[in-house]
Structure 1
């Protein structure tokens, strides 16, 4: 009797597992513009069916990192297609999602030559144009939670933006062909954590992935300002954040490549030869005994020459300075002589500049950081010489180093770790001890560059059952 009950329980669990595994993927949205269509039973449709069959069959492979692209046919009826599975889902979930998508997309886009369909677990697209290795932001899906997230919305928005920028840099720097995927959790309150995810198609370059993710981050203000969760989905990349763990943390950790390690030179083998003879029979020891004294003598001569040259220059400079001082003090148009001006300005110290005072540069950076415009401190001519995410991270670290509380300032070892690894979460900086408040800056409105840009358009809330209402629109 007991064995019969045990068999029944095992059979029920097995059936439940099979049903769960075979569940349809969670649909998010689709996009199929009717600007270009094909006729039924045409060559294009035949090539499309062949392409979808190839995508479905290749979804069973285990060595493709959840991504595959292929083309079918010849121009002008050639079709290009690809699928991308979320970086933390299993091979079986990926396969089930792709197989479902190859059928579902034909129901939603029966005669369109261009189609994109998104699910929580994967995405699939095809087109009559070659889009491989190309950043595509033409179609955008924006999703947001209906709930406002926090009692400190500005701090929350800043934490979201900073965390997503950190993992965006990690995902973009993944080697070619590897998963360009990263997740990270950050502490928001004592009981709440922030969970973030970013992903690009693996065929994008590092610069292409960075550009795509930065474009997605810039859209967050349109839909998700102060919301507990949000998504921005492009054809080439996507980002998401929530206040609950929406991904498989264990699988995600395995999917994210570790940061590159510094290659160390191996130590010399013990017992290696210290004396060898060349073609002429002169030993290494004799060669060293001759070369080293000569080299040391040359170095000493160079140092002596440099010292004497600097001493002569200093003497000449002092003589010129004295002559200049005497000349200035004799000019009748000056109301004060040079020595009085030097005493008053502490020898022309930068701290005595009119209108700036001490720490003027740091005050300016903090003001832009607080207003959400940290890139305003950069020279516009250098725009193309740096990655936006890396620059913001460097500014962030610099502000942490000038905190009022010494305990809040990172050590040099921590700073080195922050600069060399994007896996560490950065604390939110507070205003520096020397920051001077200005009434005109209280409650300033972030600029369009900030994450907290507000827009009444494109804001699409989740439905009450934690589903989603989405809107797709071309740029």
Structure 2
């Protein structure tokens, strides 16, 4: 006989089982497809095999711990058996669904891609990948295009495609510039003439910058135009981003209800009563006392912050400290009209001090990758460096949780703006380019040999070269620079920082840096200045050669002038162009010992007739645009134009890996 208590127990058990089945069904992973690199395999029980097993286990473990549904790590860093991996869960799924998807993906990727050195697997709820090389954020391979299989009916194809791709482009921009940690966005739009809606979503891996994310998503959208025009639903799944559209809502939108209650109103009333009583009894006395205490605390807090951040350098740097009120007055309270640059690091404003001096104010975002270490580093370094080809730091502000750097105002933005902006290229003549190359070289030589400190910049690139009103170059952004001993030839680190496309191979792969690391970056800049091209393959190009390989091919074929920017064909110095191309190739040699010192570079540039060594085939180039450093993203700031190529990011949560 079933008693009432047993009935209650059985009913509870049934409800529990039912809820469990519902939750399990909701969190079950739906496999879509995979891509295995069948070109290279690893030997079972090898070191690489061990590193991969540890990595996959780490991904599974961290799937339940990452609230943002993203995790990136590397095993065997700094060795030839290094392997990196990542999972990215869809932005709207919960932690349980994410964990189940990653767990299943780890099992399936080994079964579907046995002994492969590179593989990627896609699910409805997540993607997971690993490689012993690199995944390029702008590449459309590896990828998977999935389509509904049914063409749209009852509406013009062109109108449908216009609506779909217009929506996806808007979603791409919103995802790329998301203010949250997840680079995920959704959207919907109604198709004119028929009462149907299109729903779209886009998402990037968190390690990409806003510009890189937008590039990746736009490339993914481009593949849909080729494969899936007119389809009722389709998706493009790449290694670093995903876009999708359907005629039904396939994602979940979480809404947070606004909270208001009578208790809040009652609380407000009580506060009002307290304020009235307070004002009635102690009007003037407490006002003056409060102001005095506030100013005293503020002054003491600034000194304490300086002491905590800069230690023994307190006396040296105290004179460089600006108060926040002065900066707000100079920039009209950070007015958007004064904005001259923007990036993941924050915003740069033009300002005018009370004495009429123009300044550039770099206000770091609280979510910026340029954290306290880089902020302190830049202040301590630039305050002690003085050279006409280095940007001048006028001061800084540490107040009310703000981190602000104040520089001399450099009116002509950054070098990349003139090299790569289609309407500005023609303004940069050859004699100016040659002068800029010489100025950059002298600035780097000063850092390496003639300053009080021996400094390795570690992030030299065209967007970190500012141009004054006479087009003289000034090296900026010292947040990632390292001070080394005067007699020290080489250093090493497990925190790789820099920008793809400019990093020397020994630094990118093994964390070894020296003056020759900066020489490599300088060589890339030379070739960019000569060619007017970035050291990155254009998105629309089918040519897989980067700038270094192209330069080497032209040199080997004895046609180096083919590399020259077409805008300069009518007016240039034949001997200077040849010299610069040869010097650029010498600087990007794979072996650091084969690269010249900056003293030799300056000598070559300043000597009219000089015989340079023959260059060797350059190092394999990492594609530019993405900085590495887990703290986040940094930039030259004012310092730079609003173009792509800003950067930062290190090894911890977001990490750097080889491809």
Provide the TM-score with structure 1 as the length reference: 0.51
Larger radius of gyration: 1
Query: Residues 71, 243 of structure 1: CA spacing in aligned structure 2 closer, same or farther, 3 A cutoff?
Result: same
1:95 and 2:67 correspond = no
Structure 1, gaps ≥5 residues long: 255-269, 274-379, 385-448, 450-475
Q: Distance in 2 between matches of 1:179 and 1:186?
A: 23
1:125 and 2:129 correspond = yes
Instruction: Name the SS of the counterpart of 1:156 in structure 2.
Output: helix
1:76 and 2:117 correspond = no
For 2:17, the equivalent position in structure 1 comes to 15
Instruction: Name the SS of the counterpart of 2:55 in structure 1.
Output: helix
1:110 and 2:114 correspond = yes
Q: Distance in 1 between matches of 2:93 and 2:10?
A: 30
> Is the 8 Å Cα contact of residues 150 and 156 (structure 1) preserved in structure 2?
no
> Is the 8 Å Cα contact of residues 135 and 204 (structure 1) preserved in structure 2?
no
> Is the 8 Å Cα contact of residues 88 and 252 (structure 1) preserved in structure 2?
no
For 2:254, the equivalent position in structure 1 comes to 250
Instruction: Name the SS of the counterpart of 1:238 in structure 2.
Output: strand
> Is the 8 Å Cα contact of residues 36 and 113 (structure 2) preserved in structure 1?
yes
Structure 2, gaps ≥5 residues long: 259-282, 289-420, 426-539, 541-659
Aligned residues: 263
Among residues 181, 184, 200, which one is paired with 2:184 in the alignment? 181
Instruction: Name the SS of the counterpart of 1:11 in structure 2.
Output: helix
| Bigger shift: residues 185-194 or 42-51 | 185-194
| Bigger shift: residues 85-94 or 98-107 | 98-107
1:11-50 → structure 2 map (5 Å cutoff) = 11-23=13-25, 24-50=28-54
Q: Distance in 1 between matches of 2:65 and 2:88?
A: 13
1:138 and 2:141 correspond = yes
For 1:194, the equivalent position in structure 2 comes to 198
| Bigger shift: residues 134-143 or 197-206 | 134-143
Deviations 1:228-264 (A, max 9, x none): 111111111110001111111227999xxxxxxxxxx
Among residues 150, 153, 159, which one is paired with 1:155 in the alignment? 159
Query: Residues 185, 2 of structure 1: CA spacing in aligned structure 2 closer, same or farther, 3 A cutoff?
Result: farther
> Is the 8 Å Cα contact of residues 138 and 219 (structure 2) preserved in structure 1?
no
Q: Distance in 1 between matches of 2:43 and 2:256?
A: 43
Task: Supply the RMSD in Å over aligned alpha carbons.
Answer: 3.1
Among residues 206, 210, 218, which one is paired with 1:206 in the alignment? 210
> Is the 8 Å Cα contact of residues 136 and 236 (structure 1) preserved in structure 2?
no
For 2:450, the equivalent position in structure 1 comes to none
Q: Distance in 2 between matches of 1:250 and 1:162?
A: 24
1:33-432 → structure 2 map (5 Å cutoff) = 33-63=37-67, 65-74=68-77, 75-131=79-135, 134-152=137-155, 153-175=157-179, 178-188=181-191, 191-250=195-254, 381-382=422-423
Which 4+ residue blocks in structure 1 deviate beyond 4 angstroms? 1-7, 251-254, 270-273
For 2:417, the equivalent position in structure 1 comes to none
Deviation at 1:144, TM superposition (A): 1.0
Deviations 1:200-242 (A, max 9, x none): 1111111111111111111112222111111111111110001
Deviation at 1:10, TM superposition (A): 3.6
Q: Distance in 2 between matches of 1:40 and 1:252?
A: 50
Deviations 1:100-139 (A, max 9, x none): 11111111111001010000000100000144x8444211
> Is the 8 Å Cα contact of residues 21 and 93 (structure 1) preserved in structure 2?
no
Query: Residues 148, 10 of structure 1: CA spacing in aligned structure 2 closer, same or farther, 3 A cutoff?
Result: farther
